Amino acid sequence: MFVFCIFLVAGLFIFHHSANLILEDNCLSPEIESKIASLKLRENDINIIITGDSRAERQLIPRFFLNKTGYHTINVAVPSLDLVTLLYAIKKHYKDSRNIFIVSVSSWQINDGAIDIGYLSDKCFQKMSLLERLHIFSKNLQDLNAMHKRLAKYFFAYFFKSDILLPKIDDEIISENGFNGKTGNIDFKTDDIEISKYLINHPWYKRLSNNGIRSKIFEQAFRELGKIDSHFIIYTPPASPYWKKIIKNTSIEKSELYFAQKLEKMALEFNNIDFYDFYTTEIPELNDSMYYDPQHLNKDGASLFSSYLANLLNARIQNLIR
């Protein structure tokens, strides 16, 4: 048994370092790789690239930016895309300094407790040391094992030059240049007990810990973006009036405000990064009817927000181009 344990630990150690070495330059997101492959840039020209998580994928419509600025615009955002994954996708695919990126970021990206499957990216996991992984998943070894299995798939896909992991992008999404709008309205919870359960079980805010391992990796990725020649417009997306009401004076509200303040402070260090806070900025037209859940705009809200943001950013974009 002792010998078996020694070999097991040694094997895990060797795999950890081999996988990190082999996968270092890979963004480890088949979803964004598929979108990037499907949505072509206009060669020898300026392109606007909308990216980030679901609150860009489902909330920013490229044609509004094309119509306002005159520049080709695509949306390569995908659900739960974090900044570290995006950094490596940009390094691999978007090296033209004329590209202008509009990037949605959300507070779960710095929370060590937000590790439900789907909210901790494979790239962020890969960037952790073995001890950091064990610390993050100390109470959830089953998901730790699942994350290592995902890394193993990438590891073997790399050796066999396989695209088997790449999902197909719907033709409708391609026709919208990457926008994936949703319909529907908020399912309002009015009972205090229901609201409490909803907030306690929200995957973005479990066991709030915003100054740990994920925060460190997020900051490193942010600073790496600051070294890239392209320009980045990073923003925190809006949330519904209903959401702001039910989290008033809670730790969730404090974490959102802390995240926005953190981003604003970091952005000041870099000439190629602008930051806009739409979480605390009120846009009166974005009322509760414009959301399909408390934190995601529906198609009507997406149209309004896209028009608002395109108008707001147009002067800045034109100035950058000049």
C-alpha–C-alpha distance, residues 90 and 87, integer Å:
5
Signed CA dihedral, 322, 42, 154, 209: sign only:
positive
* Structure confidence at residue 18 as a pLDDT band (50, 70, 90): low
Query: If you average pLDDT over residues 232-243, what whole number do you get?
Result: 97
Cα-trace Rg, the chain? 20
C-alpha–C-alpha distance, residues 79 and 135, integer Å:
25
Go through the domains of the chain in sequence order and give each one's CATH number: 29-115+167-321 (3.40.50.1110)
Instruction: Kindly report the length of the chain.
Output: 322
Q: Is the pLDDT of residue 258 over 60?
A: yes
141-159 vs 2-23: helix axis angle to the nearest 10?
60
Would you give the distance in Å from CA 314 to the centre of its chain? Answer: 23
3-state SS, residue 233: strand
Q: pLDDT tens across 161-200, in order?
A: 655 568 899 999 999 999 999 999 999 998 999 999 999 9
What pLDDT does residue 200 have? 94
Q: pLDDT tens across 288-315, in order?
A: 999 999 999 999 999 999 999 999 999 9
Query: If you average pLDDT over residues 145-168, what whole number do you get?
Result: 79
